[in-house]
Amino acid sequence: MSTTLDVDRHDDDSVAGVPRRRIVVASLIGTSIEFYDFYIYATAAVSVFPHLFFPKGNETTALLASLATFGIAFVARPIGSVLFGHFGDRIGRKATLVGSLLTMGIATFLIGVLPTYHQVGLLAPMLLALMRFCQGIGLGGEWSGAALLATETAKPGKRAWAAMWPQLGAPIGFVFANGLFLIMTLLLGHDNSDPDLSSAFLEWGWRVPFLLSAVMVIIGLYVRLKLEETPVFAKAVADGKKVKTPLVEVFKSSWRQLIIGTFVMLATYTLFYIMTTWVLSFGTGKTPAQGGTGAGFQYSDFLVLQLVAVLFFAAAIPVSGILADRYGRRSTLLVVTGTMMVFGLCFGLLLDGDAMGSARMLFFLILGMLLMGFTFGPQSAILPELFPTNVRYTGSGIAYNVSSILGAAVAPFIATWLATTYGVGWVGVYLLAAAVLTFVALLAVRETKDASLDEV
């Protein structure tokens, strides 16, 4: 569309009077906090919570119970996407992004002050599960709002590039979260293979990353309160195109996009949490010679390998944005998803616990993180582009977060069970199956590269 509004929206330096750099920071900081929160929980779910929040017993049972609480947030996320999506499509992107950030940040901070099982018994895991659920509610509205903020203010032909900025929050959050955990374990001398419940790390050190999230939330609020509404949403309001019940409308008019969007994201989520949460438990688990199925790395050594690999994740995201703008979202994701299938078939070869070394593990992590960057980058462009303006927040949020249940909530649990029961190669088969479903969904989707975001 060539309207005055479009000219204002695509000014080189600002959008509706707001500097583009502020929009970039506002979209980036929320997802950085989102993934920081998720990574510190994922790391703690493997290294802390099994010891402090669940009764003593079988180590694998405690780990699986801890990973189950990790999955609770994914169940809550679609609820959050409906709740915040309703307000995002009714009252605007700005106010909703502030609300989701507050909900998410408060829940994360409170995890850092929870009593443990040894202090209050079964109330401890119940409170942990409740806070995790509240985290999920806030997170359910965060990603889609950040993605819309980026895409609805992008320059013509540069939407995938603009949309990749909130995706960079994933590696940024990872570096901050795991880097901080690494520092705490080194300073306080924590050994995950032989945990001491009276150690400083398990007494109080693990709480520090959760408490420090408050600082990031305050910065995020400051930036977001200085935003204006996106021109695309403002135009929909001016034209009287808002709907009273976005949830009803999206299922009525865009049900096909909901299904396709959910499965387009499936393989990305599955790979993401295999390469971050499950692989941490595998990498630091006991070797077959020790009676386990893991690789036997020291906790701090493995975090270093992950931190190196995540740099490749960060590097691939901007490249994926350029490719998606040049060749299209569908074509780019089809190639990446096909490569992901091949990667899944290589798990047994790359993760042979009897012959595992740092070089081979790092190679595996780099491959997985590179693929993660290439598949994750275009998602914040293609999902919003599937939906019309008046239900875009709700629709993209539901697709993204329902996919999180199918692909992420169960991924660490299923992968742990498969590796323990059938061997690590079957974790790759699980990834392969998810990639096949995503490949089929991509074949069914239309190319959205040139779609108008002003469509209602």
- Greatest alpha-carbon span in the chain: 70
Alpha carbons 420 and 413: distance in angstroms, whole number: 11
| Structure-token pair, residue 455 | 């469509």
Which tokens hold the place of 286?
């006991």
Q: Per-residue pLDDT for 313 more than 90?
A: yes
Mean pLDDT of 84-88: 88
What's the chain's average pLDDT?
A: 86
In this predicted structure, the answer to whether residue 361 has a pLDDT above a threshold of 70 is yes
Q: Quick check: is 454 in a domain? A: no
Question: Contact at 8 Å (CB) between 31 and 143?
Answer: yes
Q: Is residue 453 part of a domain?
A: no
Q: Where is mean pLDDT largest: 99-103, 178-182, 361-365?
A: 361-365
Confidence of residue 185 (pLDDT cuts 50, 70, 90): confident
Single pTM value for the model: 0.84
Query: How many Å apart are CA 434 and CA 440, to the nearest integer?
Result: 10
User: Quick check: is 449 in a domain?
Assistant: no
Q: What is the extent of the structural domain holding 422?
A: 4-444
456 part of a folded domain: no
Which of 125-129, 334-338, 373-377 has the weakest average pLDDT?
125-129
* 450 domain residue, yes or no: no
For residue 452, is it within any domain? no
**Does 451 reside within a domain?**
no
- What would the pLDDT profile of 106-141 be if each residue is shown by its tens digit? 999 999 999 998 888 888 888 988 898 998 898 888
Residue 147 sits in a domain whose CATH number is 1.20.1250.20
Q: Return the pLDDT at 1.
A: 37
- DSSP SS3 for 19: strand
The mean-pLDDT minimum among 58-72, 296-310, 391-405, 431-445 falls in: 58-72
- Least confident among 1-15, 23-37, 279-293: 1-15
Distance CA 413, CA 417 (A): 6
Q: What is the pLDDT of residue 436?
A: 98
pLDDT, greater one: 136 or 455:
136
pLDDT class of 241 with cuts at 50, 70, 90: confident
What is the reported pLDDT for 145? 86
For 337, how many CA atoms within 13 A lie in the half-sphere containing its CB?
A: 27
Whether the predicted pLDDT of 89 surpasses 70 = yes
Q: Are 416 and 277 in contact (CB under 8 A)?
A: no
Confidence of residue 9 (pLDDT cuts 50, 70, 90): very low
**Per DSSP, what are the bridge partners of residue 19?**
14
143 or 381: whose pLDDT is higher?
Answer: 381
In a domain, residue 276? The reply is yes
Split into its structural domains, the chain has a count of 1
Residue 176 has pLDDT above 50, yes or no: yes
**Mean pLDDT in residue range 283-302:** 82
**pLDDT score of 54:** 78
Task: Give dist(CA 39, CA 387) in Å, integer.
Answer: 29
